[in-house]
Structure 1
Amino acid sequence: MTNRTWILAGAATALTAALGLGYGVGRLTDKAPAQAPDHGEKEAPPHEEGFVALGAADAAKAGVLTVPVGRGGGSELVLPGRVALAANASAALGAPVSGTVERVHVAAGDRVAAGGAIATLRSAEGAGARASVDAAEAGARAARAAAARDRRLFEAGVVARQDWEASQAAADKAQAELRAARAQVAAQGAPSAGGVAVLRAPIAGVVTRMDARVGGFLTQGGLVAEIADQAQVEYVLDAPPASADAIHVGDLIAVQRPDGGQAGARIIAVAPSALGAGAAVVRAKPTGPAPQIGAIVSARVVLAKGEGGLTVPSEAVQTLEGRSVVFVAEPKGFRATSVVTGRTAAGSVEILKGLNGGETLAGKGAFRLKAELGKGEAGHED
């Protein structure tokens, strides 16, 4: 009996311990979800519909090139051409006086400001010209003093009028000789009394050629250096005889760059070509960044404008969800903008509605933006 009692008591104790352990485990299990870290995906940032975030540098790397909105709608002419320095954007510096090169201040490839030192010469001719100025200044002072003295004597009745007038004429002559001597010195680079003259850049730009060498001798008129302002460029285009008369100064044109993109320009001059037979050379000033000097380009010129307004390249127009869109460039990316299209001709599409004409949009590679926008929309739906 006693053994049975102890057995029952032990069983009760074991049951109580098991229940307590189960309760404790249950409490821990209930708390576990609250304490466990959340390993789920974070909420996606809000998606801006119709916008592709892509900077200008990344867009260029991806093959997306921007183009300006064109105007026209009439017949077009494609002109071959090249990028060249604009008028007055280059200069050749010659030696104004013969002399020995004492110092060369710049080398080919260096950038100089207008008036910057290029080379220093020492010239015997320059020293002689400066001496002539000094002599002319002394003669002019003496002649002015003589004329002033004769005037006082004439007013006092000591000398005749013709004597005063003769001395005044001599003073005027001496002054003219002084002006001529000063002009000669200025033309020779304004040498010092020792004949040292500093030759200076007539324009700002890059030194493209340097012919002066220290210790070398330059003759008057000899080439010292060539300078070009490579920031000032223009398009030089060749127009055929049949259409030269239809091209006018002030017309806007679209230039096809070597990389496949487009740039805007305005015609500034139309002149007969050296080839004759009615052909013309057309010069146009870029309205935006231009390719490097020497690049081969082509330009679309609208000859007869129709009633259509704005035009864009055909590749700029994409179909998105059944509607025609173009991707307008913004500071941080491209925005899909719905447009109403009109006629299509010569690789261009007429835009009847949706643009105001001042936009810059994606041309070549616009389909990549469409694909990227499709990825963004799909991710947003998930």
Structure 2
Amino acid sequence: MKKIVWTVCFLWILGMTSNPVLAGEKRVEEKIVRLSPEILQEFEIRLERARLRSMPRVVELPAEVVADPDRVVHVVPVVAGFVRQTLKRWGDRVKSGEVLAVLDSPELADLKSSYLIARTRLRLARELFRREKILWEKKITSEESFLRAQQDLELARIQVQTLIQKLLTLGFSPENIGELENGKRPLGRYELRSPISGIIVEKHLSRGEMATPSRVAFQIADLSEVWVLVSVYRNWLPEVREGQRVRVDFGHGIPAREGRIDYVNPILREDTRSARARIRLANPDGRLRPGLLARARIEIGRKKVLAVPESALQRLEGRTVIFVREKEGFVARPVKIGRREEGWVEILSGLSPGEIYVARGALTLRAELERENLGEGHSH
């Protein structure tokens, strides 16, 4: 009798564990959806045979937007002077050559005065040389006087050329230098100009203070093109190379951008032990701001996988399903999905190559199945 009781208990326990519902396994009940060819055509339901497709192998890595160092300039005055006027503020857009501030520079006034004096001496030396030459040719004056006048003329020319080079170094054009003798502009006036077009991102200049070449007055950045630096960890370094396609997701309502890696730094950073890969991106609207964090999806190769279009996937009873055609009709079969790329989804389990599934129009089948579950549907 005991043996019979133990046998019954064992069979009861076995039945409990073999029942997926009682054992706690969540699954979609396999109900058949039958649709006629006319309905399939009317609702534009497209069937396809499951097959392997080439999908990109993608690695996702953290990235950051930074300004191109070659497009960032620190503007400093080349002479010391008191700030008379500041014409631009933080955040202003400027063009190349535009005046940022005006300085009164005693140093510049002395240099211009020296130039004007040298020009006067050159005119006198030229006139004296002309007279001495005439007198020497007529044997009225000595050769020594003639040679002295010639030497003075050459020294005056050298002095003028030296001062012209100094003024050119300070940013004055030959036209500006030629205007010095008309006396229309103060000799100490120095205009600090922008060397590039861009945005003023820093300003360290106030009216009345002394500006010197040792201190940055403005920082200007041209953000029409920016860099995206991707942190490439050591385990991915053998896979990441120049020329690979990258999709950069910024979030915050900023559209994703695509580009290619144009440089991978061979030196690892000490703090993270990662290398940096660079992507150059055009930034005409200025939405890519330095410091913005992003995620870079780098295509490191391609692989054959079983994949279906995203339109084939439906959610039913909390599970992801695909409607697969079987002998009696269509069955909502749960599947396990992998990567999503280019409108396709990798299927890890639940579907086999060669099986026929609903690639488009699966929503119609799901609605039909839900109606049947509610007792309101009908079969076609």
Q: TM-score, normalised by structure 1?
A: 0.54
Check whether the contact 1:272–1:278 (CA below 8 A) recurs between aligned residues: no
Check whether the contact 1:272–1:280 (CA below 8 A) recurs between aligned residues: yes
Q: CA deviation at 1:305?
A: 5.6
Partner of 2:277: 282
Q: CA deviation at 1:250?
A: 4.0
Q: Go from structure 1 to structure 2 and tell me whether the alpha carbon gap of 1:271 and 1:162 turns closer, same or farther (over 3 Å shift).
A: farther
Distance 1:176 1:301 in 2: 62
Q: Go from structure 1 to structure 2 and tell me whether the alpha carbon gap of 1:81 and 1:258 turns closer, same or farther (over 3 Å shift).
A: same
Work out the percentage of aligned pairs sharing the same amino acid: 20
Q: CA deviation at 1:306?
A: 6.7
Q: CA deviation at 1:194?
A: 2.9
Partner of 1:296: 293
Check whether the contact 1:131–1:193 (CA below 8 A) recurs between aligned residues: no
Partner of 2:223: 230
Distance 2:79 2:100 in 1: 15
Partner of 1:86: 68
Q: Go from structure 1 to structure 2 and tell me whether the alpha carbon gap of 1:307 and 1:164 turns closer, same or farther (over 3 Å shift).
A: farther
Alignment of 1:202 with 2:184, yes or no, is no
The letter for the 1-side match of 2:109 is A
Partner of 2:21: none
Q: CA deviation at 1:348?
A: 2.0
Q: CA deviation at 1:285?
A: 1.1
> Over aligned residue pairs, what C-alpha RMSD do you find?
4.4
Distance 2:144 2:268 in 1: 63
Q: TM-score, normalised by structure 2?
A: 0.54
Distance 1:315 1:98 in 2: 70
Alignment of 1:184 with 2:166, yes or no, is yes
Partner of 2:212: 219
Check whether the contact 2:202–2:218 (CA below 8 A) recurs between aligned residues: yes
Task: Within 5 Å, give how 1:228-377 maps onto structure 2.
Answer: 228-244=221-237, 247-259=240-252, 262-273=256-267, 275=269, 279-286=274-281, 291-304=288-301, 317-319=310-312, 346-349=339-342
The letter for the 1-side match of 2:278 is R
Tell me the secondary structure at the aligned position of residue 347 of structure 1. strand
Q: Go from structure 1 to structure 2 and tell me whether the alpha carbon gap of 1:125 and 1:74 turns closer, same or farther (over 3 Å shift).
A: same
The one-character-per-residue Cα deviations of 1:284-330 (angstroms, maximum 9, x if unpaired) are: 1125776333211121223346799xxxxx9984349xxxxxxxxxx
Partner of 2:90: 108
Q: Go from structure 1 to structure 2 and tell me whether the alpha carbon gap of 1:252 and 1:106 turns closer, same or farther (over 3 Å shift).
A: same
The letter for the 1-side match of 2:120 is A
Q: Go from structure 1 to structure 2 and tell me whether the alpha carbon gap of 1:222 and 1:349 turns closer, same or farther (over 3 Å shift).
A: closer
The letter for the 1-side match of 2:341 is S
Tell me the secondary structure at the aligned position of residue 88 of structure 1. helix
Distance 1:171 1:88 in 2: 45
Gaps of 5+ in 1: 1-48, 51-71, 309-313, 321-343, 352-366, 375-382
Alignment of 1:124 with 2:121, yes or no, is no
